Amino acid sequence: MSVLTESTGTAAARETPARRRPRVDRLPYLLLLPCLAIIGVLLLWPLGEVVGMSFYKLNSVRQLRGDREWPWVGLDNYAQILGDPFFRTVLRNTVLFAAANVVLTMILGTLVGLLLNRLGKRMATFVASCVMLAWATPALTGTIVWKWIFDDTSGLVTWLFNKLPDGLSTSLFGRSDWTGYGWFNDPLLFFSILTLVVVWHSFPFIAVSVLAGLKSVPSELQEAARVDGAGPWRVFWSVTFPMLRPVFGILVVLSTIWDFKVFTQQFVLAGGTQDRSTFMLSIYSYAEAFSPPPKYGLGASIAVILTLILLVVTGVYVRMVLRQEDES
């Protein structure tokens, strides 16, 4: 009996280490602490300050410096913004502009990515280097160049239109002399030029990302589809696109966030905040906060609304990705 008990105890002792809970390695979490601290200081703390400011009536720099009291208004800033018909106009401008830019950027970037994937190594390197110049150019620098291109006296576009035959220019556009023509005065024309500037600056990132995704698609699948008689469009839609769907999803979300937050290009092309007919949420927030008389609380509330919209867009995308993973 003692032998049996001893053997049973020995077996239990052998099983105990296997049943013991695995030890948690805390080193990876400790290594993440510096990054989390930087994110908290550079992102979460300013965001919290903006959210806090949106609940107060702030109309002077002395209040921001702490020399005067901050009157609490609660949700009055949000009620004033959401009840303003002009806010709905600005929101419509922002949504339509972002939707058009996302579509055009994705189409152009995908086409350039497919082109780079078909070119030889040397030519692809050359074309990719040229394309990435647009992405590497700062938004301010690129916008200044585009504003000169559409300058009403010495711009390249004005010069080209003045070179058209007078009869052709008059029959097509109703005028022969384009010197002094305000390219940025008409809202529709302004948004068209702004779209051109934003798409020019954004599509290289999409192209390079699509190219990286195309390199991961097995060529055997595409070749099998061609053998079965599928054309280029059918191969892309039935073979390439399903495998790159996560890549396209991320790119669409990033493009949406970038296009919703366009500020520099619009501010430079419009020459400030005078033309309210072309306002979008970013410049609307800036104008309310810093145009005299300043209304920092209202500007902060618009910025919070813009952040919430982008969080909703990101949340919808994350939910779609998780649902696709569950289905697969």
Residue type, 128: A
Structure confidence at residue 327 (pLDDT)? 60
**Which residues lie closer than 8 Å to 190 by C-beta, 6 or more apart?**
183, 184, 269, 270, 275, 278
Is pLDDT of 210 > 80? yes
Per-residue pLDDT tens digits for 254-297 = 899 899 989 999 999 998 888 888 899 999 999 998 888 889 99
Looking at the predicted structure, is the pLDDT value of residue 3 above 70?
no
Q: Do residues 158 and 151 lie in contact, with contact meaning Cβ atoms separated by under 8 Å?
A: yes
Nearest to 73 by CA among 293, 241, 298, 230: 298
CB 207 within 8 Å of CB 131: yes
Instruction: Report d(CA 7, CA 15) in Å as an integer.
Output: 12
What is the reported pLDDT for 1? 46
Residue pLDDT, tens place only, 127-172: 888 888 888 889 999 999 999 999 988 889 999 988 888 888 888 8
User: What pLDDT shows up at residue 324?
Assistant: 66
Q: Residue 64: is its pLDDT beyond 90?
A: no
pLDDT band at 193 (very low <50, low <70, confident <90, very high): very high
Q: Is a pLDDT exceeding 70 seen at residue 13?
A: no
pLDDT at position 168 is 81
Check pLDDT > 60 for residue 241. Answer: yes
Phi-psi region of 19 (alpha: psi -120 to 50; beta: other; left: phi over 0): alpha
Residue 4 has pLDDT above 50, yes or no: no
- Supply the DSSP symbol for 175: -
What pLDDT is attached to residue 47? 86
CA distance 294 to 286: 10
Percent of all residues in the chain with a pLDDT value above 70, rounded to a whole number: 91
Cis preceding linkage at 293, omega within 30: yes
Question: Following CA atoms 196, 201, 205, 210 in sequence, which dihedral angle do they give, to the nearest 10 degrees?
Answer: 20
**CA angle at 248 for the pair 247 and 253, rounded to the nearest 5°:** 100
The structure's pTM equals 0.83
What per-residue confidence (pLDDT) applies to 22?
Answer: 59
Q: What is the pLDDT of residues 81-125, one digit of tens each?
A: 999 899 999 999 999 999 999 999 999 999 999 898 888 888 888
**Three-class DSSP category at 197:** helix
Share of the chain above pLDDT 90, in %: 32
pLDDT at 101: 95
Contact 157, 110 (CB under 8 A): no
Mean pLDDT (the chain, rounded): 84
> Dihedral (C-alpha) 266, 270, 272, 275: value to the nearest 10 degrees?
-110
Which pLDDT score, from 0 to 100, does residue 21 have?
58
Query: Mean pLDDT across the stretch 315-325?
Result: 74
SS3 of 23, please?
coil
Instruction: Copy the structure tokens of residue 88.
Output: 């709905």
Cα distance between residue 266 and residue 191, in whole Å: 9
Residue 260 and residue 309 in contact, taking contact as beta carbons nearer than 8 Å: yes
Comparing 224 with 210, the larger pLDDT belongs to 210
- Rounded CA Rg of the chain: 28
pLDDT of residue 294: 87
Q: Identify the bridge partners of residue 56 per DSSP, sorted by sequence position.
A: 72
**Beta partners for residue 72, in sequence order:** 56
Residues 134, 204: contact at Cβ < 8 Å?
yes
